[in-house]
Amino acid sequence: MLLAVAEAGMPLAPAAYPVAYRCSCERIGCPIPGRHPVSFAWQTQSTTDRAQILRWAGTQPQANFITATGMVHDVLDVPLEAGREALERLLDQGVEIGPVAESTGEGEEGRVLFFTATRGTPEDEDEWWPCELDCRPETMDEHPGLRWHCRGSYVLVPPARLPGDHGVHWVRGPEHPLPDPLTLLETLTDACARYAGEVRAGEYAEYAEDGEYAAHGEYAEYAPGADGGGGSGSGAYAGKAAQGGARPMGRR
């Protein structure tokens, strides 16, 4: 399967792998075990050369692999539930979709990866346009919703192993042509917005049950009596909770 990825033009480089719940890099407290390249020079090391990939796979049989984005392809990376919803909608609409992978994990570690053509190599460098969704390894936490992996970023390539029996697998393989990312963007952003709204509604519902509004400023305005109405709360969160649309989620 790695060779199929390389044949699709996506450059590869070796990545760390899990050793129980630790990382093969042996860094104490590695924050992303099994999810990062082995070498700091991964951008220049990444290749589609068949012989080199076979050498890596032969000498490092347990290694995961990453693919460097922004050269041939980009990746639009969204939360797992939002991604599954978006994929279903895109298929129903008959939109051309390229390779898609799922990365399983606890909580926000679960993601769906939509592989697309890149916007990162314009003939005229002045035509390069940055995007507020652009995500790099060092800015990952700043993008809990939609992440756009383009120049200077990477993603794990299936099949990949992660701690706790999690991993990355293909939903649609690398044989599918890479679509224009803009054809997917609206559906993905809509799905992420709905997902974020459900999360916040669930958090509100949990605080409502515990009566802990005062200690959490962002929810205080929705507290019983905060609107002068004597106890039912207000706004979108209250409405969702009343309609049963709120799902309990972990607290911040």
Q: Does residue 39 lie in a domain region?
A: yes
> Is 140 found in the same domain as 79?
yes
User: How many structural domains compose the chain?
Assistant: 2
Separation in Å, CA 74 to CA 29, 67, 99, 158, 227: 29, 10, 11, 16, 46
Q: Domain for residue 27, yes or no?
A: yes
Residue 251 has pLDDT above 80, yes or no: no
Summarize pLDDT for 69-111 with one digit per residue, the tens. 999 999 999 999 999 999 999 999 999 999 999 999 888 889 9
Strands 147-149 and 134-135: parallel
Select the more confidently predicted residue: 234 or 109: 109
pLDDT in tens, 43-73: 999 999 999 999 999 999 999 999 999 999 9
User: Among residues 142, 247, 232, 244, which one has the least CA distance to residue 200?
Assistant: 247
Q: What angle do CA 141, 122, 90 make, to 5 degrees?
A: 60
Name the residue range of residue 234's domain: 192-242
Question: Quick check: 199 pLDDT over 80?
Answer: no
Q: Who contacts 71 (Cβ-Cβ below 8 Å, separation ≥6)?
A: 11, 46, 118, 120, 121
Which amino acid type is present at position 139?
T
pLDDT at residue 217 above 60? Answer: no
Mean pLDDT value of segment 150-173: 95
Confidence label for 210 from pLDDT (cuts 50, 70 and 90): low
b/e 191-225 (16+ beta carbons within 10 angstroms → b): bbeebeebbbbbbbbbbbeeeebeebeebeebbee
pLDDT at 128: 65
Output DSSP code: residue 72.
Answer: S
Residue 249: inside a domain: no
Q: Look at residues 126, 157, 180 and tell me which one is the last residue of a structural domain.
A: 180
Q: Are residues 157 and 231 in the same domain?
A: no
Matching residue, tokens 């951008």: 43
First to last CA, the chain: 39
Amino acid at the residue 211: G
DSSP string computed for 111-173: EEEEEEE-SS--SSGGG----TTEE-GGGGGG-SS-EEE-TT-EEEESSEEETTTEEEEEEE-
User: What mean pLDDT do residues 214-220 have?
Assistant: 48
The residue among 180, 209, 231 that closes a domain is 180
Q: Is residue 250 part of a domain?
A: no
User: CA 168 to CA 157: how far, in whole Å?
Assistant: 7
Is the domain of 173 the same as that of 102? yes
Q: Where are the alpha helices (DSSP H) in the chain?
A: 2-7, 42-45, 50-59, 80-93, 182-210, 217-220, 235-242
Q: In this structure, are 46 and 105 located in the same domain? A: yes
User: Which residue, 148, 180, 212, sits at the end of a domain?
Assistant: 180
Is residue 161 located within the same domain as residue 200? no
Mean of the per-residue pLDDT values for the chain?
81
Query: Mean pLDDT over residues 178-199, rounded?
Result: 91
Check: CB of residue 170 under 8 Å from CB of residue 113: no
State the pLDDT confidence band at 133, using cuts at 50, 70 and 90: confident
pTM of the complete model: 0.77
Give the integer Cα–Cα distance in Å for 16 and 8.
23
Q: Is residue 187 within 8 Å of 95, Cβ to Cβ?
A: yes
Same-domain pairing of 170 and 217: no
One-letter identity of residue 163: P
Query: Does one domain contain both 67 and 105?
Result: yes
17, 92: one domain: yes
Stronger pLDDT, 34 or 211, i.e. the higher one: 34
